[in-house]
Amino acid sequence: MHIDWNTLLCALGLAFVIESIPYVLFAERMRPVLRSLSDQPPAMLRGMGIAAMCVGVLVVWLARRMLV
């Protein structure tokens, strides 16, 4: 298996950029949001994480399929 390190690092950098957007645009609102997330049970957080991963895999799959 060949790993395209350039693509992997670009994807990682893009993930950091996308993850930082709410903190830049809604800095004053993020504290209550994070506090409410910390009050959620682990099962709820895990479910949200799995859902986000599924959406991410779907987006990557669709993008790869459309570009081929």
Q: What is the pTM of this model?
A: 0.72
How much is the pLDDT for 25?
Answer: 97
Q: Which residue, among 34, 14, 12, has the nearest Cα to 23 in the 3D structure? A: 34
Q: Residue ranges per domain, the chain?
A: 5-67
pLDDT at 1: 78
- Work out the average pLDDT over 43-63: 94
Per-residue model confidence (pLDDT) at position 60: 87
- Per the model's pLDDT, the better-predicted residue between 57 and 67 turns out to be 57
Structure confidence at residue 3 as a pLDDT band (50, 70, 90): confident
DSSP per residue, the chain: ----HHHHHHHHHHHHHHHHHHHHHSHHHHHHHHHHHHTS-HHHHHHHHHHHHHHHHHHHHHHHHHH-
pLDDT value for 24:
96
Inter-CA distances, 45 with 25, 48, 67, Å? 23, 5, 33
